Chains A and B, each alone.
Chain A
Amino acid sequence: MEVTSIQPIIPIAVAGLAGILILVNGDKAFFRNLWGTAASIIAFLAILSMLPGVLDGKVYTYELLRFGGPLDLTFRVDALGYLFSMVSSSMWLLVNVYTIGYMEHEHQKKRFFAFFSLSLFAAFGIAYAENLFAFFLFYEALSIFTYPLVIHAGTKEAMKAGSKYMIYTLGGGGLLLIGIIVTYFVTGTLTLSEPGIFSVNDGAELIKVLFFMYLIGTGVKAGVMPLHHWLPAAMVAPTPVSTLLHAVAVVKAGAFGVLRVVYSVFGVDVLGELGLGWVLAFIGAFTVIVASTIAIRQDNLKRRLAYSTISQLSYIVMGAGIGVIGAVGAPLAAIGAMTHIANHAFTKGTLFMCAGIIAEETGKKNISQLNGIGRRLPLTMTAFTIGAFGMIGLPPLAGFATKWWLGIGAGEAGAPIFMAVLVGSSILNSIYFLPICYRAFFMKPDGEVEEKALQRPRNRPETAYTMLVPIMTTTVICFILGIFATFPGLPMSVAKLATTFLFGG
């Protein structure tokens, strides 16, 4: 049931407005924090207000602007888009608080907070885009608005990482645009409100070529190998940015884009019939395994987390692929893939924020320096450990829920090989996450100086509450998403709604 409503515009407008306001008078900390915080709260509430309707099967739409032809800025909140926006806005709420604490001693705060808001503006736009044109518009906007964040440090290394990031994402955007133009010409529409706009009659060869163009265009942001090089390079950015890139906006927008392309542009039937589900699932599986293997060798904590993200994001890509294997598809795998947007966001968000606290409080960036860090930061490292368990996929954490659904989805699709991939990935995850936890809690600090440095500070908590509260919250959410996974209103129920529509009941 379609309902015309202003609600979809609110989060987009609020985030955009906050960005502009911060650019105008963000030199004062009070206004900067006021605009950012107010916007994140209003956006969250506006999105929350749509939850009952979405669960009820309502689809909110709003047409903002017509450009002529198929080009218009129309927003449409379907279940899949809603899921993405909900994850982004709740992470924004938490990361915003964390950032205020973390960025206290950084430079260029005005620019930072302004573009942070603008990135959310673009992410919400991507989530609610009704057609490929609007999708493309916000997708490019996201690339541009995140650039100042990536180069935040202003060092040569950061500038280089920024250029790399631009080349990858804007280049991918170019291919995406070609795909969109040809799509419109072939199908006469750009809408994303159908379960697929192509039909097999449009020419198998053409569809295959187009599919890869879309896949490269969206896969760049999702960090699908071999298009992932920008992601580890972008680790030079401050930690809140990494959190934003990994957990909230950018790579999630890429993964969301892959899901959109698979389910709303091409559709289950077409991809299933052309056998492209297998191709996609194998690309995903390849990235899952290879990225995890590379992660093992990284000593820099943030880089290890970055490769972990590349690997985790490809769960979504792989799940999207498994979902379209065979003529009828495998909705269970698709549910797993969609839910993983949320589960990975909260889990990886926790890990990155912990890494940020470690760097901020002790200045340590490498894993080999983390011996005994649990003494100095007990709560942080507990949260980190829980996040790591979630990544490995231990019950009852969020990560387990997705692996479970992906696994039975693979069985449903008659492709048990991907179950093996999931198991292999869990083993690899344990190999690169557990040693960190072991070092933190069970190994002694190196030498006396270290021992002293790692003593608990008296009279104050281990780190600022603005940073501590967000990681505690995301940790709790990891449990909730695992234990109450199928509860109505939580991501999986929304994902189920989405698949009901996309797989035709």
Chain B
Amino acid sequence: MEGILVLLPIIIPLVGAAVVALLKRVSEKIGSVVTAVFSGLTLAAAIWLASLFYGGADLSYSFDVGLPFDLAFGLDALGIFMGLVSTGLWFLASVYSIEYIHERRTMFNSFLLLSLYGMLGITTAANFYTLLFFFEVFSVASAVLVIHEMTPEANRAGFQYLIISVVGSAAVIFTAAAIYAETGSIDLLGQGIPGLADHPLTPLFFWLLIGGFAIKAGLFPVHMWLPVAHPIAPSSASALLSGVMIKAGAYGIIRVIYGVFGMSVVNTPAMGTLLMWLAVFTMIFGSILAIAQTELKRLLAYSSIAQIGYVILGASMLSGVGLSGGVLHILGHALMKGTLFLAAGIIIHQTGLRNLSDLEGIAKRLPLTMTAFTLAAVSMIGIPPFIGFFSKWYLALGALQAKDAGIMSQWAAYGVVGAIIFSGLLNIVYYAPILIRAWFGGPSAETAHGHEDSHGHGEASGKAAEAAGRAEPSWLMLAPVMVLGFGTLLLGLYVRVPYQLISDVVKIYF
């Protein structure tokens, strides 16, 4: 009867959401703390389930709902991994939110927990029926997080996000129904549903499903909502939206490729190869748009589009090593983008600055925050021994492996390797100027006037910034950022630890 434990990480946040809603009358502040406690409990449950899973327990459970299919749950190595990453980041973000969120706390907190409920439901679902059930909850709950500020702009962004989400899930629903009608199965956790291999409509099904999940993931060309919605949400929600929520889409894509259709079916130019090139294009395109941004959070959102390209590239190149790179990047990007968005939140919260041009010398006022920010940005660029390097390493090796397996032509493989490195260089183009501004930058235009001619830039800025004083926030906000920032370095140094888990994920399909 261990199987029923699989419901634990789903139930805890649901209960938490209810408790937080009830606490509204008592104290919203306590509600925030309770939210963090419940996310912590969920994290603990995820860790417990992981230890059970690696102890050999069969973690699956289903309810007979009187339909031809069950409301079925099941965890394999990929589900366990997704659970650990998302609950980990959720916990840190909710600790951060205690201090960060001032208005409409109860609304924010309960929907934060509801989104966690949806997210974990998706990664625990054993078939499409269960998945879709949680997909809708997830879409609505996260849309509320986007709307949080309730400015006309935020409302529009949230609404747009909601509509496009619904279109996405509609595509998934109809395709799942069609697949059920044709094959009698809606299994997600298998190795490909038999009967889809030689079905004439398979490419259509494939692209409808991929399209549905790609919307969630923010893959080109259905990414438009992402750079609007992510920056407008409160930063702790942005961190989750970019850090893990888009990974729900990537998770769906991995399951569609490997679980629903199976590798051998997807390995055609019209399916796998095309998806791979879309991912490569997304990777480059997101970065190029990021270069043009003038606002920090918008830049980070475009960067997320580029980064989700890595994950989907890993999934779609159909090689074991490549998949491990993609899955590793789920963790890596969660750490990096979590750090960056939370740090951007600290900058906004403590100084009110949002534009890149305002960040001159900001590191003198927020040295610890910017240290974490710097670690994450360097990891983004992909310099060893940060974790961002290793996903690129495995992705590039994966492309070469796919070439040897005959999945990719030689020039395609070298092209992919080149694109991965090129995209890292593009990251330098937009992250390095931020770091340079922050650490070495001069004062902003007004304060500079008097000094500019006589002294060097650096010195004048040092004085200006020091005059403004240190502005580090309390440890409630700082600690999550530091943990994540140093996590990019530590989990890079000890990358073999997450890689152990990931090699179990890869073993499912290879």
Contact = CB atoms under 8 A, between A and B. Distances in A.
Interface of A: 65-68, 71, 73, 107-108, 133, 136-137, 140-141, 144, 148, 151, 153-156, 159, 162-163, 166, 170-171, 174-175, 177-178, 181-182, 184-185
Q: Which of A71, A73, A133, A137 has the most CB of B within 10 A?
A: A71
B397 A159 contact: no
A108 B421 contact: no
Given A140-B384, A171-B425, A174-B425, A108 B459 contact: yes
A141 B381 CA distance: 13
Interface in B434-491: 436, 439-440, 442, 456-459, 461-462
A133 B385 CA distance: 10
A153 B400 contact: no
A144 B383 contact: yes
Given A170-B425, A177-B421, A154 B397 contact: no
Contacts of A67: 385, 390, 493, 495-496
Contact of B496 (A66, A162, A170, A177): A66
A174 B424 contact: yes
Contacts of B400: 181-182, 185
27 contacts: A65-B385, A65-B493, A67-B493, A67-B495, A71-B384, A137-B384, A140-B383, A144-B378, A153-B456, A153-B458, A154-B440, A154-B442, A154-B458, A155-B456, A156-B457, A159-B436, A162-B436, A163-B436, A166-B432, A170-B425, A170-B428, A174-B421, A177-B424, A178-B396, A178-B418, A181-B396, A182-B414
A267 B222 CA distance: 49
A423 B436 CA distance: 45
Interface string B393-415: 10011001100000000000010
B7 interface: no
Given A137-B384, A137-B385, A148-B440, A154 B456 contact: yes
Interface in B330-355: none
A178 B384 CA distance: 14
A117 B393 CA distance: 29
Contact of B417 (A140, A156, A181): A181
A178 B390 CA distance: 13
Nearest to A66: B496
Given A66-B496, A137-B384, 20 more contacts: A67-B390, A68-B499, A107-B459, A108-B459, A133-B384, A137-B385, A154-B458, A154-B461, A155-B456, A159-B457, A171-B425, A174-B421, A175-B421, A177-B421, A177-B424, A178-B418, A181-B397, A181-B400, A181-B417, A185-B400
Contacts of A153: 456, 458
Contacts of A177: 421, 424
B247 to A, nearest CB: 22
A133 B383 CA distance: 11
B510 interface: no
Contact of A68 (B414, B432, B459, B495): B495
A9 to B, nearest CB: 15
Interface of B: 378, 381, 383-385, 390, 393, 396-397, 400-401, 414, 417-418, 421-422, 424-425, 428, 432, 436, 439-440, 442, 456-459, 461-462, 493, 495-496, 499
B417 A155 contact: no
Contacts of B440: 148, 151, 154, 159
A155 B457 contact: yes
B393 A181 contact: yes
A155 B428 CA distance: 22
B417 to A, nearest CB: 6
A156 B439 CA distance: 15
A355 to B, nearest CB: 21
Contacts, number: 81
Contacts of B493: 65, 67
Nearest to A153: B456
B384 A68 contact: no
From DSSP, what is the main secondary structure of chain A's interface residues?
helix
Contacts of A107: 456, 458-459
Contacts of B383: 137, 140-141, 144
Contacts of B459: 107-108, 154
A439 to B, nearest CB: 31
Contacts of A151: 436, 440
A103 B422 CA distance: 39
Contacts of A155: 456-457
B324 to A, nearest CB: 10
Contacts of B456: 107, 153-155
B312 to A, nearest CB: 20
Nearest to A170: B428
B147 to A, nearest CB: 40
A149 to B, nearest CB: 11
Contacts of B397: 181, 184-185
Contacts of B414: 182
A73 B458 CA distance: 36
A73 B495 CA distance: 13
Closest 10 CB pairs of A and B: A154-B458, A154-B456, A185-B400, A154-B457, A137-B384, A181-B396, A68-B496, A174-B421, A140-B383, A107-B459
Nearest to B495: A67
A159 B457 CA distance: 10
A66 B496 CA distance: 8
B383, B414, B418, B499 pick with most chain A CB within 10 angstroms: B383
Contact of A174 (B385, B422, B432, B436): B422
A178 B417 contact: yes
Nearest to A72: B496
A151 B462 CA distance: 15
Nearest to B392: A177
Contact of A178 (B421, B496, B499): B421
A177 B495 CA distance: 19
Nearest to B493: A65
B175 to A, nearest CB: 37
A182 B462 CA distance: 45
A296 B462 CA distance: 40
B407 to A, nearest CB: 15
A178 to B, nearest CB: 5
A107 B440 CA distance: 13
A136 B393 contact: no
Nearest to A185: B400
A71 B436 contact: no
B385 A108 contact: no
A182 B417 contact: yes
Contacts of A159: 436, 440, 457
Contacts of A65: 385, 493
B14 to A, nearest CB: 38
A504 to B, nearest CB: 30
B393 A71 contact: yes
A162 B440 CA distance: 11
Contacts of B442: 154
Nearest to A152: B458
A133 B495 CA distance: 14
A137 B436 CA distance: 21
Nearest to B503: A68
Nearest to A73: B385
A230 B308 CA distance: 34
A262 B126 CA distance: 54
Contacts of B432: 166
A108 B396 contact: no
B264 to A, nearest CB: 24
A156 B385 CA distance: 32
Contacts of B396: 178, 181
B455 to A, nearest CB: 8
A108 B439 CA distance: 12
A141 B489 CA distance: 14
Contacts of B462: 108
Nearest to A141: B383
A184 B414 CA distance: 14
A178 B499 CA distance: 22
A174 B440 CA distance: 25
A171 B432 CA distance: 13
